[in-house]
């Protein structure tokens, strides 16, 4: 096995439990036949994606969406399906109390409620064997004068400091950011800089989580990867794709060259936690997740094929197009057979989409879950 094949075989992508359930747009939800009815069936679908691809051995969970009475039983179910728990994702955006914010809310009672939920998720993560809390914060304001921006920043730090103080030694806190939505005037964690400053205040086990869809058009996301990695603060990456805003499309479906460049930077150091975070609204969910994994495998394989010595030589010589062409050579390489071979060596399917369609899995689950 070559070095590229060996590294590709070690790739792990967390799939999200919420990516298998019903979803839609702000105008409506579109149920699909065979959709899972609870977290146990969402885990079953995640196991099918792992069986087909060999790279999706972890599943990220979301609470309270995945709440159960017995987390020991949930963990047993997950491990029996050949999976492990990835990051735990708390929910601080759906409760009515959070209309004006959660950790940054002007009311101390609401802030305490939000902190209690995050601490509860630390315990859930421990019970499930998870080593990370992944926090996306919807807090922000819609109008100038709605709240004091400096005060909100201080409340955020005070609230997260309470959570970080109780963070178990085997867990880390991943702080995500998003340019806008649902806050349209000012978002409390709007960019990588605000997230990084927050992590630096908290401690070494607080790191930034990048989401591919959470940036303004034209932002150089691969540069953000390089900067955070150089500072030792790159904690994870959420994969998706967008045409205009946010994250509703299969990763690699619109701008595969950008995905390749991101993986080129990710591969420069040790890979952080990698997770799919997509909303499959009109496409079949398991098949969409499988295609996402295949796209990630191929992007990573191409990034591993870059002749970094030749690239460095061109850069040191000031050969502008020479360096660019080194990247293009790797990007233009057809890696489909390479990736298929690695999947086969992992006991997965060389052609996972075709295998999934032949299996009748979707029809079977539609009958079982009717």
Q: Would you call the peptide bond into 64 cis, given omega within 30 degrees of 0 as the criterion?
A: yes
Q: Does the pLDDT value for residue 26 go beyond 90? A: no
Taking 80 as the threshold, does the pLDDT of residue 1 lie above it? no
**d(Cα 147, Cα 169) in Å, to the nearest integer?**
35
- In the chain, the domains with their CATH numbers are 9-304+335-368 (3.20.20.150)
Mean model confidence pLDDT for the chain: 96
Structure tokens at 294: 């295949």
The predicted model scores a pTM of: 0.96
Q: Nearest CA to 132 among 170, 176, 79, 185? A: 170
What's the chain's length in residues? 370
Q: Dihedral, CA atoms, 241, 245, 247, 250, nearest 10 degrees?
A: -30
Measuring CA to CA, which residue among 55, 170, 65 is closest to residue 122?
170
Contact 55, 12 (CB under 8 A): yes
Q: Give the pLDDT score at 112.
A: 98
Q: Which tens digit of pLDDT belongs to each residue from 51-94? A: 999 999 999 999 999 999 999 999 999 999 999 999 999 999 99
279 has a pLDDT exceeding 90 = no
Per-residue model confidence as pLDDT tens digits over 323-355: 999 999 999 999 999 999 999 999 999 999 999
Categorize the per-residue pLDDT at 106 as very low, low, confident or very high, splitting at 50, 70 and 90: very high
| 231 pLDDT above the threshold of 90 | yes
Q: What is the pLDDT of residue 189?
A: 98
pLDDT for the residue numbered 178: 97
Beta strands in 131-203 (DSSP E): 132-135, 140-141, 172-176, 186-187
Segment 128-179, tens digit of pLDDT: 999 999 999 999 999 999 999 999 999 999 999 999 999 999 999 999 999 9
The 10s digit of each residue's pLDDT in 13-25 is 999 999 998 887 7
Runs of H (alpha helix) within 244-360: 256-266, 285-304, 308-316, 320-331, 336-345, 352-359
Average of per-residue pLDDT across 301-327: 98
Q: Which of 34-38, 41-45, 142-146 has the lowest mean pLDDT?
A: 34-38
Q: How confident is the model at residue 28 (pLDDT cuts 50, 70, 90)?
A: confident
Task: Kindly state the average pLDDT of the residues 304-332.
Answer: 98
Q: What tens digit of pLDDT does each residue of 165-201 get?
A: 999 999 999 999 999 989 999 999 999 999 999 999 9
Residue 29 has pLDDT above 90, yes or no: no
**Side-chain-side CA neighbours of residue 248 (13 Å):** 11
What is the rounded CA–CA span in Å between residue 180 and residue 183?
6
Q: With 90 as the cut, is the pLDDT of residue 280 above it?
A: no
């Amino acid at each position: 096995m070559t070095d590229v094949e060996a590294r590709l075989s070690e790739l792990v992508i967390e799939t999200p439990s919420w990516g298998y359930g019903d979803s839609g747009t702000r105008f409506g939800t579109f149920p699909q036949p065979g959709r899972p009815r609870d977290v146990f069936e969402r885990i079953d679908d995640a196991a099918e994606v792992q069986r087909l691809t060999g790279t999706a051995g972890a599943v990220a969970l979301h609470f309270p969406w995945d709440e159960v009475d017995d987390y020991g039983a949930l963990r047993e179910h997950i491990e029996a399906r050949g999976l492990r728990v990835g990051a735990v994702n708390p929910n601080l955006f759906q409760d009515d109390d959070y209309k004006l914010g959660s950790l940054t809310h002007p009311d101390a009672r609401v802030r305490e409620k939000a902190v209690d939920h995050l601490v509860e998720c630390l315990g859930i993560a421990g019970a499930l064997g998870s080593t990370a809390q992944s926090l996306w914060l919807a807090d922000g304001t819609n109008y100038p004068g709605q709240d004091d921006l400096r005060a909100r920043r201080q409340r955020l730090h005070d609230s997260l400091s309470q959570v970080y103080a109780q963070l178990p030694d085997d867990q880390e806190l991943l702080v995500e950011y998003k340019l806008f939505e649902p806050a349209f005037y000012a978002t409390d964690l709007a960019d990588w800089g605000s997230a990084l400053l927050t992590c630096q205040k908290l401690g070494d086990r607080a790191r930034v989580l990048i989401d591919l869809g959470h940036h303004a058009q034209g932002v150089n996301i691969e540069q953000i990867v390089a900067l955070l990695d150089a500072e030792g603060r790159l904690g994870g990456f959420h994969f998706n794709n967008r045409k205009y805003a946010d994250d509703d499309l299969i990763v690699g479906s619109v701008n595969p060259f950008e995905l390749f460049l991101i993986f080129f930077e990710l591969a420069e150091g040790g890979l952080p936690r990698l997770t799919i975070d997509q909303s499959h609204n009109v496409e079949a969910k398991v098949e969409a997740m499988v295609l996402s994994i295949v796209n990630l495998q191929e992007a990573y394989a191409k990034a591993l094929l870059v002749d970094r010595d030749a690239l460095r030589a061109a850069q040191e010589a000031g050969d502008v197009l020479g360096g660019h062409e080194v990247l293009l050579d790797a990007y233009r390489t057809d890696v489909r057979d390479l990736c298929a071979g690695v999947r086969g060596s992992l006991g997965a399917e060389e052609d996972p989409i075709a295998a999934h369609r032949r299996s009748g899995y979707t029809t079977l689950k539609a009958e079982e879950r009717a």
